[in-house]
């Protein structure tokens, strides 16, 4: 039996009325396959706690929609794990089932998009986040509906967010450059609501090229954002001159 992960792995940032989530995305360099896994915990001020485990497997070569499995629990199941080094869990939705046991190796240092750093401790934004692993390698097994996928050397990223509520509107974008090891883009775009006012878009993240991290966005650097289903076109400023 897989030992249960201590609760502190999940709720060290949570209080009443809070939530926390970890997610893993990874791409197979040798085929058009990708996975997305998310573990979410919600602790309302009133009422019972809830936990949701999500698993999505996409394979464009099969010509059908991605397989999606989500299950809601009253507490984290024994054996479930989510963090910068490992994701493990099972879920069922109707007749669909999924399990995953994945390890993340050779991770680059975390990226904390919120800048300046005081935003990580300030009341606003109410959502805090980091790319705990902006670039790493994912290995293990993933099973969906009785079939097993051998995940070997998939390139992936791990994200972590927590707080009292989500932004009013937000997008979290990650892209890696398959021909440039260590090259990646991590970008968060968000609009928050204060009372009845909805603030303009704010962009925060970084571009990694040839081992250099180029900060993008931040307070006072308003981005240009054009979006529609299937397409996002942001214009984001970096340091002066970039």
pLDDT at residue 98, rounded to an integer? 97
- For the chain, the residue count is 242
Instruction: Extract the tokens encoding 129.
Output: 């986040």
Q: Return the bridge partners of 170, or none.
A: 190
Task: Please give the Cα distance from 58 to 64 (Å, whole number).
Answer: 9
Question: For the whole model, what pTM was predicted?
Answer: 0.85
Question: Of 101, 9, 4, 100, nearest to 55 (Cα)?
Answer: 100
DSSP single-letter state for residue 223? P
Residue 161: closest CA among 118, 220, 114, 199:
114
**pLDDT score of 13:** 56
Indicate the fold that domain 12-228 takes in CATH: AttH-like fold (2.40.370)
Report the DSSP beta bridge partners of residue 235: 224
Q: What is the pLDDT along the chain (242 residues), one digit of tens a residue?
A: 223 333 334 444 556 678 899 999 999 988 999 999 999 998 887 888 899 999 999 998 888 899 999 999 998 898 999 999 999 999 999 999 999 999 999 878 899 887 767 777 776 777 788 999 999 999 999 999 989 999 998 999 999 988 877 777 888 889 888 767 779 999 999 888 778 888 888 899 999 988 889 999 887 788 899 988 888 898 888 766 66
pLDDT for the residue numbered 179: 67
Tokens read off for 102 = 């994945």
What single string gives the DSSP state of each residue in 182-219?
A: T-EEEEEEEE-EETTEEPPPEEEEEEEETTEEEEEE-T
In three-state secondary structure terms, 44 is coil
- Residue 28: CB partners within 8 Å, gap ≥ 6? 34, 151, 154
């Amino acid at each position: 039996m897989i030992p249960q992960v201590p609760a502190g792995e999940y709720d060290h940032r949570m209080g009443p009325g809070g939530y926390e989530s970890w997610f893993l995305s990874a791409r197979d360099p040798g085929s058009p396959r990708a996975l997305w896994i998310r573990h979410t915990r919600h602790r309302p001020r009133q009422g019972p706690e809830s936990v949701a485990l999500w698993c999505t497997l996409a394979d464009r070569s099969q010509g059908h929609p991605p397989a999606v499995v989500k299950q809601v629990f009253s507490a984290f199941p024994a054996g479930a794990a989510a963090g910068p080094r490992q994701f493990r869990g099972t879920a069922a939705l109707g007749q669909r089932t999924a399990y995953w046991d994945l390890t993340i190796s050779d991770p680059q240092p975390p990226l904390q998009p919120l800048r300046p750093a005081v935003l990580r401790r300030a009341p606003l934004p109410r959502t805090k986040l980091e790319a705990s692993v902006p670039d790493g390698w994912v290995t293990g097994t993933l099973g969906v509906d009785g079939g097993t996928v051998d995940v070997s050397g998939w390139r992936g990223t791990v994200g972590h967010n927590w707080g009292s509520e989500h932004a009013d509107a937000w997008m979290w974008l990650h892209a890696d450059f398959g021909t440039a090891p260590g090259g990646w883009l991590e970008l968060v775009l968000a609009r928050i609501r204060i009372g009845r006012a909805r603030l303009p878009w704010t962009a925060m993240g970084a571009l990694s090229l040839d081992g250099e991290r180029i900060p993008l966005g931040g307070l006072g650097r308003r981005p240009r954002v054009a979006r529609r289903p299937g397409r996002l076109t942001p214009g984001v400023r970096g340091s002066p001159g970039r």
